[in-house]
Amino acid sequence: MSLHPKIIDLTLDRMTRLLDALGSPENAIAPVIHIAGTNGKGSTGAMIRAGLEASGEKVHAYTSPHLARFHERIRLAGKLIDEQLLAETLAECERVNGNTSITYFEITTCAAFLAFSRVPADHTILEVGLGGRLDATNVIDQPELTIITPISVDHQQYLGNSLVEIAGEKAGILKRNTFCVVGPQPDEALDVIEDKAARVGATLKIHGQHWHVWEENGRLIFQDEYGLMDLPKPTLLGEHQLQNAGIAIAALRLMNKSGEDCAAAMTNTEWPARMQRLRTGPLVDAAPEAELWLDGGHNEAAGRAISKLMNTMPQRPTHLVMGMLNTKDVSGYMAHFLEGSVSLQAVSIPGEAATLSAAETAKAATDLGFHASVADDVLSAVKNIVERDKSARILICGSLYLAGNILRENA
């Protein structure tokens, strides 16, 4: 991180130059499942991985950002990359790159491709970092499968201010003669995806047209041209995860996986900081009678999904501990929690230059009508809440970076 700027510069020139110098490792990795979208990329990828591994296959995976440790980004044939191999692979990329300009995300993506190329596997799941068209992962000429999860407004400074512009960037991963599973989309985003697919020669499998998913009697029901499936609900909580599960099942069906594999995708998936219940650590010790939850969602669509889930939980006074980045739609995210929350404790995110100060977050909350106050840190916020309500439900939320800080100390 000290060697390379942690900036976003959407171009592929630096990637292709370094990959060429490394011997084009991206051409020697297991068949790629490439996932773009605004929300649900990580959860969908985790479900697909669980289903593929249940069938006995080995799966590489590349995700971002990490939560507690960088190693989470690179999974080799089912296991997180170990310290020595990570260090050696990064060092090799540094030597080959020399003093040429490259960003942090680009060189670490090259390192992931290099590591993948040297370990046998059956599939590689690649999660887009930002956008799609010019993302560092979009150097795979012929993926096995592409996926576009639900698109909403986020990262406007890089992708554009409208859903049409943002969808155009996401649709940049579409490739000729390749299937793309498309999750639920606003009409204007779907129009862009369909137009792009027609121009490049990609075949779409679209939610609501080619496949359907719904809940019935506590089960997940999936239907496509191959028939009806009755499956367990996903272990990941929330109606939005039902949609992600549908995308994962549609992908697995295109890869000819069985009903048992699809069921395993529902029951075997673990994905931290997605409505994760905290059960150990200093925060739990400080609030033994409280119910502590952690979620890393940070845009308007995530706020809507999380608040909707919380409104379905057994009634219990709900308090928020929130820290956000200054690049996000803070009011859009917060507004969904206003009706169901008793209070909001605002915190800054440790170690993040782009954090909103606790005072700025508290002001934004107060302006919306929250009963909001400032806390020095998350532990102080939790203690403040349980002093007034020992059995509170506490949701720590607003940023994956805040979630990472929590998991490093409380996982």
- pLDDT confidence bin for 7, thresholds 50/70/90: low
Say if 1 falls within a structural domain: no
**Residue 97 shares a structural domain with residue 206:** yes
- On whether residue 250 sits in a domain, the answer given is yes
Is 6 within the bounds of a domain?
no
**How large is the average pLDDT for residues 312-327?**
92
Which CATH number fits the domain that encloses residue 349? 3.90.190.20
Evaluate whether 213 touches 245 at the Cβ level (below 8 Å).
yes
CA 292 and chain centroid, separation: 21
Q: Is the dihedral of CA 47, 69, 334, 369 positive or negative?
A: positive
- Phi, psi (degrees; rounded to nearest 5) at 365: -70, -45
The CATH number of whichever domain residue 190 belongs to comes to 3.40.1190.10
Return the structure tokens found at 200: 């490049």
Count of CB atoms within 10 A of residue 179's CB?
A: 18
What would the pLDDT profile of 241-258 be if each residue is shown by its tens digit? 999 999 999 999 999 999
Asked if the model's pLDDT at residue 9 lies above 90, the reply is: no
User: Are 229 and 324 contained in the same domain?
Assistant: no
Q: Which of 301, 219, 300, 292 is nearest to 262 (CA)?
A: 219
User: Are 110 and 199 contained in the same domain?
Assistant: yes
| Residue 325 located in a structural domain | yes
Residues 49 and 7: their CA atoms lie apart, in Å, by 29
Q: Which of 267, 296, 313 is the last residue of a domain?
A: 267
Task: Kindly state whether residue 4 falls inside one of the protein's structural domains.
Answer: no
Domain check: are 113 and 226 in the same one? yes
Q: Is the alpha carbon torsion for 230, 234, 239, 241 positive or negative? A: negative
What's the pLDDT score for residue 93?
A: 98
Q: What are the pLDDT digits (tens) for 160-173?
A: 778 999 999 999 99
Query: What is the predicted pLDDT for the residue at 3?
Result: 77
In a domain, 308, yes or no: yes
Q: Is the domain of 177 the same as that of 150?
A: yes
pLDDT digits (tens, 9 = 90+) for 172-212: 999 999 999 999 999 999 999 999 999 999 999 999 999 99
Shared domain for 256 and 284, answered yes or no, is no
Q: What percent of the chain is modeled with pLDDT above 70?
A: 98
| Average pLDDT value for the chain | 94
311 and 224 co-located in one domain: no
Task: Please give the residue that has the higher pLDDT: either 409 or 43.
Answer: 43
pLDDT value at position 338? Answer: 92
Task: Give 332-387 pLDDT, tens digit per residue.
Answer: 999 999 988 999 999 999 988 899 999 999 999 999 999 999 999 999 999 999 99
Cα-only R_g, the chain: 21
Neighbours of 327 (CB within 10 A): 14
Residue with tokens 């998913």: 213
Enclosing domain of residue 286: 276-410
Residue 315 has pLDDT above 90, yes or no: no
Instruction: Express each pLDDT in 36-72 by its tens digit.
Output: 999 999 999 999 999 999 999 999 999 998 998 999 9
Q: 226 and 341: one domain? A: no
With 90 as the cut, is the pLDDT of residue 25 above it?
yes
| Helix or strand run (H / E) with residue 230 | strand 227-232
For 56-102, give the secondary structure using H, E and C: CCCEEEECCCCCCCHHHHEEECCEECCHHHHHHHHHHHHHHHCCCCC
Query: What is the band of 10 on the pLDDT scale with cuts at 50, 70, 90?
Result: confident
Same domain, 259 and 282: no
pLDDT score recorded for residue 86? 98
CB under 8 Å to 146, separation ≥6 — which residues? Answer: 33, 34, 35, 36, 173, 174, 175, 178, 179, 180, 181, 202
136's enclosing H/E stretch is: none
Amino acid identity of residue 136, one-letter, is: A
Specify whether 142 is located in the same domain as 225: yes
CA-to-CA distance for 60 and 67, rounded, in angstroms? 18
- Rounded CA-CA distance 223/316 in Å is 36
pLDDT at 232 over 90: yes
Question: Once rounded to an integer, what is the mean pLDDT over residues 90-96?
Answer: 97
The reply to whether omega before 317 is within 30° of 0 (cis) is no
> How many structural domains comprise the chain?
2
Task: Give the C-alpha separation, 175 to 322, whole Å.
Answer: 39
Q: Which of 165, 93, 87 is nearest to 133 (CA)?
A: 165
Rounded Cα–Cα distance for residues 150 and 156 (Å): 16
Could you tell me if 1 and 264 are in contact, meaning their C-beta atoms sit under 8 angstroms apart? no
Mean pLDDT confidence for 317-321 = 94
Q: Specify if 310 maps to a domain.
A: yes
The whole-angstrom separation of Cα 191 and Cα 171 is: 11
pLDDT score for 298: 84
| Boundary of a domain, candidates 267, 295, 324 | 267
Go through the chain and tell me how many residues it has: 411
- What's the mean pLDDT in 28-43? 96
Three-state DSSP class for 105?
helix
- Token pair belonging to 230: 């009755």
Say yes or no: 364 and 235 in one domain. Answer: no
Q: Which of 177, 186, 192 is nearest to 208 (CA)?
A: 186
Write out pLDDT tens, residues 103-136: 999 999 999 999 999 999 999 999 999 889 999 9
Last residue of a domain, one of 242, 267, 292: 267
Query: Would you place residue 158 in the very low, low, confident or very high pLDDT band (cuts 50, 70, 90)?
Result: low
In a domain, 82, yes or no: yes
- Same domain, yes or no: 258 and 280: no
